[in-house]
Amino acid sequence: MGNLINNELVYTVKDRCRVCYTCVRECPVKAIKIVNGQAEVISERCIGCGNCTKVCSQKAKSFIDTTPQVYDYLNSGEKIVACVAPSFPAEFSEIEDYKLFIGMLRKLGFTYVVEVGFGADIVAKEYKKTIDDPNSKKFISSDCPAIAYYVRHYHPELIEYLAPIVSPMVAMVRIIKHKYGKDLKTVFIGPCIAKKAESSEVDQVITFAELRNMFNNANITSDNTTPSEFDPPIAGKASIFPVTRGKLHSINKSDDICDENIIVASGRIHFREAIKEFEEGLNKSQHLELLCCEGCIMGPGMTNSNKIFTKTTHIRNYVRNKLLNFDTAAWKIEYDAVKDMDFSQTFSSADRRIPIPSPEKITQVLESIGKFNLSDHLNCGACGYDTCIEHAIAIVEGLAETEMCLPYTIEKLHNSVKDLNLSNEKLASAQQSLKQSEKLATMGQLSAGIAHELNNPLGIITMYSNILKDEAPADSPVHKDLELIVEQANRCKKIVGGLLNFARKNQVNLIETDIFKFTQHSIDSIIAPENVTIELKSTLTNPYAYIDNDQWMQVLTNIEKNAIEAMPNGGKLTLELNETNGDVEFCIGDTGVGISKENMDKIFTPFFTTKPIGKGTGLGLPLIYGIVKMHNGQISVDSNAGEEAGPTGTAFRIKIPRTKNL
Ligand code: ADP
Ligand code: MG
């Protein structure tokens, strides 16, 4: 039994763990390791306090079930003693008469049912001897097994201060064996998990929670049970033991700040503080009366771990009623019969401390979670550790993970979201370009084929119609018809030329050009009606950029012409030249009719035009698109065609790298 602490006294129910780090935070000895986001109890480090089982809202921490062994005893025909911890009135408060509770235990099959409270009477008196002796060494109380494990594991230098007195449970087991014979099986029933690993002198330990299950399984209730009294020896005043200060109260002592030399500390924070200060020599003139829980009534083996004051009241009422008709003489006889027995025990070191890593290692880990200066140490406690340094140490020790740092993880997450958005945008734009390029490539091949085939017959038509026109007298009607044929044939040639231009996988001939002057020149080369004003603005500090002059002239003039055609009633055409991160940007906006939403997707498609036959070919923008791409640039368009959304108009934005390194 004494070795149980190394055999998973407390464990994680993995499916239930939701990685909130509450168990890490609440574990007084950091015996919880996070591996791949899952909390695992490290048995060697655990002191069995069971705090994690109490605080986990998901019930992901559980403790070893020892009822199967108890069933084996009950079925064995041997004599079994139920040693009931004095906290039972706080657990079974719904049973009005405690004698019914005893009857239920007997019905379950226990031969004897005894009160560990009598063991507490004995232990309290042993402590009193030490407290009353002014020359005695100061002690750290050892009756809470979690405290004893804590000292043995984490403060082995203080072992000599652990009171060499057995716990009430062990005292009671010794007394029972003395009174009823050695061939008994003893089962301690109480609120504590650490008790399961405390001593090999007791045969089994179950919690009140486990006992309740046994009652339920056997369908034993207070209604179908006859009352019965505890087997002697009957406990006295120390029945108040499970309440904080209970032990002291039972021997008329207190932690009175003026008169006494005892410091009482209970609960996971205070007991550690008390030991730390004791070790530092700050309170070595004081005895330490310590409990890992806020009194045994708050132990993890109770089915309801809250309501400390109600539980205290239940214990008080039980003790008060008990003492009303107390047979002091009978108690004295029992006491005298055992008072000279040996109630001592010794403790050995079981050092579980991990050496503190070097400052360099700690700094390295701190930096890996974004803590470069002291001001970065938020010490928010979200990871379960009190400080960032403690968390970093735990990471080095392999107990914790960097992801547990919430501020760091949130920042990482934000960055990932940003990156993801960026790549999404890039992907969407690449997808669109790809679609457009594919479309253009297909159209290009088709157009090139058609244009090539048409070129020869068209050449012949033009040549012969010109010859015929020249031969026909200038005033004849045939001359006029031939003139029309020549004109229309030339128009066809222009369209075919445009098609070839668009289809040709052109090479660009980049030349360093003053693009301000170049743009001005493009404006000069178009004919703008009077009612259209044109403005050219530039914020460029350096006007030079590499462009293919012929092709770029087509880009600008095509856009300018489109803009002018979109402003039949006049308006304003604005050309702006700006620079962004090494790129130059052409922004060409008009106050024209705009492009409707449904047409926005189509304007770069070859042959898409909204203009009347003979006016538009629908090849301008696809051509521009191809040229911009060949300049390794980007083209985008914003437009509003509905007056309800504000002034109408269109703006083309073209960005190209300024340099030649495409
Ligand atoms: P085209 O000018 O021969 O029609 P484009 O490819 O140059 O062919 O333009 C395609 C279509 O895009 C035009 O017919 C027109 O509907 C629309 N468009 C282009 N630029 C503008 C603009 N500045 N304002 C309004 N619509 C425009
Ligand atoms: Mg056009």
Question: What pLDDT sits at residue 506?
Answer: 56
Atom of ligand 1 nearest to the CA of 617: 3
Whether 609 lines ligand 1, by a CB cut-off of 6 Å, is yes
pLDDT band at 258 (very low <50, low <70, confident <90, very high): low
Contacts of 621 (CB under 8 A, 6+ apart): 558, 562, 603, 604, 608
Question: What pLDDT sits at residue 301?
Answer: 96
- 620 alpha carbon to ligand 2 midpoint, in Å? 4
pLDDT band at 1 (very low <50, low <70, confident <90, very high): very low
Could you give the residue range(s) of every CATH 1.10.287 domain in the chain?
A: 411-504
Atom of ligand 1 nearest to the CA of 623: 6
Span 319-343, average pLDDT: 95
- Given the candidates 1.20.120, 1.10.287, 3.40.50, 3.30.460, the CATH classification of the domain at 411-504 is 1.10.287
Residue with more model confidence, 153 or 499: 153
pTM of the model: 0.68
Least distant ligand from the CA of 652: 1
Whether 591 lines ligand 1, by a CB cut-off of 6 Å, is no
Task: Please answer whether residues 243 and 312 qualify as being in contact, where contact means their C-beta atoms are separated by less than 8 angstroms.
Answer: yes
Task: Please enumerate, as own/partner, the contacts of 221-224 that have beta carbons within 8 Å and a separation of 24 or more.
Answer: 221/104, 222/94, 222/95, 222/96, 222/97, 222/100, 222/101, 222/103, 222/104
Query: Which three-class secondary structure string do you get for 251-276?
Result: CCCCCCCCCCCEEEEECCCHHHHHHH
Q: How far is it, in rounded angstroms, from Cα 592 to Cα 566?
A: 5
Could you give the residue range(s) of every CATH 3.30.70.20 domain in the chain?
A: 1-63
Q: 17-31, 56-70, 240-254, 517-531: which has the minimum mean pLDDT?
A: 240-254
Whether 557 lines ligand 1, by a CB cut-off of 6 Å, is no
pLDDT tens digits along 602-649: 998 888 999 987 788 888 998 898 889 888 899 999 999 988 989 999
Q: Which of 562, 572, 573, 638 to mutate to test the pocket of ligand 1 (most atoms within 8 A of CB)?
A: 562
- CATH 3.30.565.10 for domain 506-662, yes or no, is yes
Question: What pLDDT sits at residue 635?
Answer: 92
- 563 alpha carbon to ligand 2 midpoint, in Å? 9
Per DSSP, 353 falls in state -
Whether 590 lines ligand 1, by a CB cut-off of 6 Å, is yes
Question: What pLDDT sits at residue 504?
Answer: 61
Question: What pLDDT sits at residue 142?
Answer: 95
**Atom 20 of ligand 1, nearest CA residue:** 562
Q: Which residues of 91-126 are buried (b: 16+ CB within 10 A; e: fewer)?
A: bbbebeebbbbbbbbbbbbbebbbbbbbbbbbbbbb
H or E stretch covering 41: strand 38-41
Does residue 6 have a pLDDT over 60? Answer: no
Could you give the residue range(s) of every CATH 3.30.565.10 domain in the chain?
A: 506-662
Residues near ion ligand 2 (Cβ under 5 Å): 562, 620
Q: How far is it, in rounded angstroms, from Cα 18 to Cα 129?
A: 49
In the chain, the percentage of residues whose pLDDT exceeds 70 is: 96
Token pair 């080369």 is found at 525
Q: Sign of the C-alpha dihedral, residues 283, 286, 290, 294?
A: negative
pLDDT tens digits along 579-608: 988 899 999 999 999 999 999 989 988 889
Query: Which three-class secondary structure string do you get for 444-466?
Result: HHHHHHHHHHHHHHHHHHHHHHH
End-to-end Cα, the chain, rounded Å = 77
Class of domain 1-63: alpha beta
Whether 409 lines ligand 1, by a CB cut-off of 6 Å, is no
pLDDT tens digits along 37-86: 889 999 999 999 999 999 999 999 999 999 999 999 999 999 999 999 99
- 513 alpha carbon to ligand 2 midpoint, in Å? 25
Whether 620 lines ligand 1, by a CB cut-off of 6 Å, is yes
Q: 67-76, 100-109, 548-557: which has the minimum mean pLDDT?
A: 548-557
pLDDT tens digits along 287-317: 999 999 999 999 999 997 678 999 999 999 9
Whether 603 lines ligand 1, by a CB cut-off of 6 Å, is yes
Cis peptide before 233 (omega within 30 of 0): yes
